[in-house]
Amino acid sequence: MEIVQSVDRTLSILELIADYNEGLGITEISEKVELHKSTVHRLLGTLIYKGYVIQDQQTNKYKLTTKLFELGNKVIEDIDILKASKDYTKALMESLNEVVHVVIRDKYDIVYIDKVEADNNIRMASKVGRRSPLYCTSVGKAMLAYMDEEEVNKVWNNSNIVKLTEKTITDYNMFIKELSKVKLQGYAEDDEENELGVRCIGAPVFNFRGEVEGAISISGPAIRVTKDRIDEIAKEVIKYAYLISKELGYRG
């Protein structure tokens, strides 16, 4: 690959200035990128002309503008969670050989927008487009754990809270404690709360604003997704949820 020297140098200066919120003087920049001050001055002049850098009139230090952020946003805003997750959900399925779901929130429910099936004899009955409650699913709890209590309370009060199995949490105070645990550990568990015999591990996916965009999960029969596998599975789910979040521009 042919490298254009002036472009390479200009980008190095941008990357350097980005690390200093208070800005850098021309001498500091020159020393750090190992270029003569006259070269740095010429490149900075072009960056100022194009609107990527400004010079503080009081300190004479050079700082970034928001133009790079604006350009990045144009790319990020066109990436949705379904498109961003495709490669990662396939890799997650191959890693654990269990079905992977991608969900988004729709008011007080989750909606399955993608499913990557594993090569197993016992398969999950879920399908794309299916709705389930937020309060009793791993993906729902994973998303609620990162919302404020007012929003959680609103979801709870507008949901039909029923004991779908003997393990379903139907006490609000217990539910709040459960969400605190989820946020602490970074993943949520549906321990046969939504359907007997099925265990799910879910983790939230964040967008470039740091907001919950959706969630992913591994689901399987409790005889395969056993208690002693939860740590192993959770690590993988968290890892791939983070990679999808990064694809969406998340920088947390």
Q: What are the tens digits of pLDDT across the range 219-248?
A: 988 888 889 999 999 999 999 999 999 999
Q: CATH number of the domain at 23, please.
A: 1.10.10.10
| Cβ-Cβ contacts under 8 Å for 96 (sequence gap 6 or more) | 118, 218, 233, 236
Domain contains 70: no
The answer to whether residue 84 scores a pLDDT higher than 80 is yes
- Please state, rounded to an integer, the average pLDDT across all residues of the chain: 90
- Residues 24 and 86 occupy one common structural domain: no
The DSSP-derived string for 187-244 is: -EEEESSSSTTEEEEEEEEE-TTS-EEEEEEEEEETTTS-GGGHHHHHHHHHHHHHHH
The answer to whether residue 73 scores a pLDDT higher than 80 is no
Regarding predicted confidence, which is higher, 119 or 198?
Answer: 198
- Residues 38 and 108 occupy one common structural domain: no
- Of 54-68, 105-119, 190-204, minimum mean pLDDT range: 105-119
Q: What would the mean pLDDT of 183-196 be, rounded to a whole number? A: 92
- Residues 177 and 200 occupy one common structural domain: yes
pLDDT band at 75 (very low <50, low <70, confident <90, very high): low
The pLDDT value recorded for residue 124 is 57
Number of domains the chain is built from: 2
Q: What are the tens digits of pLDDT across the range 11-63?
A: 999 999 998 989 999 999 999 999 999 999 999 999 999 999 999 999 999 99
- Residues 155 and 197 occupy one common structural domain: yes
Distance CA 80, CA 77 (A): 8
Q: Are 30 and 37 in contact (CB under 8 A)?
A: yes
- Residues 51 and 145 occupy one common structural domain: no
**Tokens of residue 249, six digits:** 């521009």
- Residues 203 and 97 occupy one common structural domain: yes
- Residues 48 and 89 occupy one common structural domain: no
Domain contains 16: yes
Domain contains 252: no
Domain contains 238: yes
Domain contains 72: no
Q: CATH number of the domain at 156, please.
A: 3.30.450.40
In sequence order, the β-bridge partners of residue 62 are: 24, 55
The pLDDT value recorded for residue 78 is 58
Q: What CA–CA distances, in Å, run from 106 to 43, 155, 161, 168, 213?
A: 49, 11, 17, 21, 11
Secondary structure letter of residue 52 according to DSSP: S
- Residues 60 and 93 occupy one common structural domain: no
- Residues 60 and 92 occupy one common structural domain: no
Query: CA-based diameter of the chain, in Å?
Result: 74
- Residues 166 and 53 occupy one common structural domain: no
- Residues 53 and 150 occupy one common structural domain: no
| Cβ-Cβ contacts under 8 Å for 37 (sequence gap 6 or more) | 26, 27, 30
- Residues 87 and 206 occupy one common structural domain: yes
pLDDT band at 158 (very low <50, low <70, confident <90, very high): very high
Residue type, 211: E
- Domain containing 47 equals 5-65
Write down how long the chain is: 252
Report, in angstroms and rounded to the nearest whole number, the Rg of the chain calculated over CA atoms.
Answer: 24
